[in-house]
A and B are shown apart, each in its own frame.
Chain A
Amino acid sequence: MKVSLLFVIATALTMGSATLQAVDKSAGEALYKDACAQCHGPNAQGMASFPSLSGRDAEYITSRLETYRAGEKVGSNSFLMIPNATGLSDDDIANLAAFITESAE
């Protein structure tokens, strides 16, 4: 029981630490340029069949990426977004959301 209790405490501390950790916009920018810009555009303005992210808040970006990461379809570009989101961590998503909401035109 002691081991289990320690595990729970350690997990709670880790989660708390993650929650308090500040988002890293530069990491979000690097990830965006590598994985998103080719379709959504360098300023997230949207191009061709790929939607603009301008005006979207962090909650929306986070929710969509979490949905795609879970393998759930949303719209006709899900086939592209699901594999792109599959490997994202919570931090990746938070960083991306922070960068996109600040940078999108």
Chain B
Amino acid sequence: MSHKLVMRPLCAAIASAVIIGLPAVATANEPELSQSEVLSGLENPWDMAFLPDGTMFYTERCLGLSVRLPDGEVEHLLGMEGTDDYATTADDLVCEGQAGMNGVAIDPDFEENRTVYVYSASNMSEPRTNRVLRMTVNSDFNDVSDRTDIVEDIPYKPAATDHPFGDAGAHNGGRIRFSPEDGYLYVTTGDNHNSEIPQSPELLGGKVLRIDRDGEAAEGNKPPEGFDPRIYTYGHRNVQGITFHPTTGQPIVTEHGPWHSDEINALVNGGNSGWDPKPNMAGRGDCPDDYCGYEPNQTEGMDPKERAAYMPVTDTETYPDAMQPAWKNDGLSQGISSAEFLVGEQWGDWDGRLVVGFMGIGFGGTPVGQRINLIDIAEDGLSVNDVAEMPVPMGAARFRSLVLGPEGDLYTAVDEGSIYRITPE
């Protein structure tokens, strides 16, 4: 599916109407967008979560968890190693390579229990792991306590390897979201550039976990026999976006591709997403540091189609029952990140559209593609009807996180260091 401009020239619309014999009446109800910069000067803002009154928790990847109150005041709650202006500092929370503090989620019963969750890298255990932390926010919103690590064993890449972006700390996933449908916490993880991880029944990388608020497996998870019961889906590469269809509750994820084929997938309980970058299988030989994820040529440009044929993100030949992507970004990899649904009449024709952020990356002549896409995805999440680019006022940026605010506006965190509020007019 090719991209198209959302705002078409009026003359083209009239001409089309004449050609097909319809009255030249504009039927599109697409909102104009305005923006305001909610926060600036941040350091790699990664995720946000809102209370109904507009209170916004947010993470910065190498600093920690903060909260912006409705009056605009900011309180720094949980700092990572090396920070000194946070109410509480946890020296085990570390930042390295792509790793650090990532997703944040608010407990559905926050009004009663004042509980929030974050996903972060930690050196509390050796080797390091990624963890899901649960903690309590005090009544003044200026400190946290009662930290409990409800998941302690999400793998972390411990050392550099011979791969693009091959430093330690790569491919962590890191988005966490409560499903409004079933109330469970979904946790997305990454493959760490380790070919054994995505299809491993025990290792929690390259997975989507579904857990309760204590970190126990959700009732009804159906991973294959012998798998860790917390696993909801497996065979993923690096999932950095997850959201839920506003009417069906269907969980939908975004997954980074390796120089080709960013994916949007509707998750099937117990399903395999088909990523298996092991060497000496599926027609491949040896690969650098036993990980074929960027093969057959990881240092020079080549046709993404050739790459996809050699190292598919969804390997349906090896795994015929693998979940099929609804969309593959026209075969390109451009740093697909966060996903969210627009909900509300204020969005006009875009009410119900899936919005997806791209941080942008080009390699060997492929387009960088920094943007937010508006995607008309089928209710079952298995296909898309239309893809357009959102005409955002701020222009191109590394769109890391997209979250709908309580008033129905769209908030986006960009790696450049800002959080914007996008309002439909």
Contacts and interface: CB of A to CB of B under 8 A. Distances in A.
A17 interface: no
B364 A83 contact: yes
A48 B415 contact: yes
Interface in B90-118: 97-98
A76 B164 contact: yes
B327 to A, nearest CB: 23
A49 B170 CA distance: 9
A15 to B, nearest CB: 33
Interface string A89-102: 00000000000000
A97 B364 CA distance: 24
Contacts, number: 42
A80 interface: yes
A42 B41 CA distance: 12
B54 interface: no
Given A38-B396, A76-B160, A76-B166, A48 B417 contact: no
A67 interface: no
Contacts of B164: 76-77, 79-80
Contact of A79 (B98, B160, B298, B370): B298
B316 interface: no
A41 interface: yes
Contacts of A45: 417
A48 B98 contact: yes
Given A48-B398, A83-B301, A38 B360 contact: yes
Nearest to A77: B165
Interface in A41-68: 41-42, 45, 47-49
B363 A38 contact: no
A49 B160 CA distance: 13
Nearest to B166: A76
Contact of B416 (A41, A76, A78): A41
Contact of B44 (A48, A76, A77): A48
B340 to A, nearest CB: 20
B6 to A, nearest CB: 22
Give the one of A76, A78, A83 with max B CB within 10 A: A76
A62 B164 CA distance: 23
B167 interface: yes
Contacts of B360: 38
B34 to A, nearest CB: 22
A80 B364 CA distance: 9
Nearest to B294: A79
Contacts of A42: 416
Contacts of A47: 44, 398, 415-416
Contacts of A41: 415-417
Nearest to B398: A47
A63 B322 CA distance: 48
A79 B299 contact: yes
B74 interface: no
Contacts of B166: 76
Nearest to B368: A38
Interface string A25-43: 0000000000000100110
Contacts of B98: 48-49
B359 interface: yes
Nearest to B97: A49
Contacts of A79: 164, 298-300, 363
Contacts of B417: 41, 45
Interface in B380-399: 396, 398
Contacts of B400: 48
A79 B301 CA distance: 9
A48 B414 CA distance: 10
Contacts of A76: 160, 163-167
B332 to A, nearest CB: 15
Contact of A49 (B165, B363, B416): B165
Nearest to B61: A48
B97 to A, nearest CB: 7
A42 B398 CA distance: 11
A77 to B, nearest CB: 7
Q: Which 5 A-B pairs have the closest CB atoms?
A: A47-B415, A76-B166, A79-B299, A76-B167, A79-B164
Given A42-B416, A77-B164, A78-B299, 9 more contacts: A38-B368, A41-B416, A47-B415, A48-B359, A48-B398, A49-B97, A76-B160, A79-B298, A79-B300
Interface of A: 38, 41-42, 45, 47-49, 76-80, 83
10 contacts: A41-B416, A45-B417, A48-B98, A49-B98, A49-B165, A49-B167, A76-B164, A79-B298, A80-B164, A83-B364
